[in-house]
Amino acid sequence: MFEGLKPGFKLGARLSTWAACFLYVEEAVDDARNKRDFLSTVVASLTVSGVFSVKNGFNMTTAARTARSGLYTGLIFGLLQDATALARGRRLSYVEFLKSKVGGEK
């Protein structure tokens, strides 16, 4: 019954470390840019996927696939975060920019 406990804790520690790295990088990029939008999430996911690939010694093909997966995940997660923020009434700089260019608003 307890044979899976030790590997489970090891895997949980490893995954939570990568998740914490992602959150830290995303927050650092948000603070550096003074903006909170999907680009910070994309940069964080690409950064963490790159570090993950280097740490695990992936070849270029596998590293590129990991980066592509990180890009897609960052885009989807970041745009969902922005959609939630927009629904709550927060103004997003790129949405306001697009509105002013397309709609002619000031």
The tens digit of pLDDT for each residue in 63-95 reads 999 999 999 999 999 999 999 999 999 988 888
In this predicted structure, what is the pLDDT of residue 60?
97
In this predicted structure, what is the pLDDT of residue 104?
65
Answer yes or no: is pLDDT of 57 > 80: yes
Mean model confidence pLDDT for the chain: 93
In this predicted structure, what is the pLDDT of residue 39?
94
3-state secondary structure string, the chain? CCCCHHHHHHHHHHHHHHHHHHHHHHHHHHHHHCCCCHHHHHHHHHHHHHHHHHHCCCCHHHHHHHHHHHHHHHHHHHHHHHHHHHHCCCCCHHHHHHHHHHCCCC
Answer yes or no: is pLDDT of 1 > 80: no
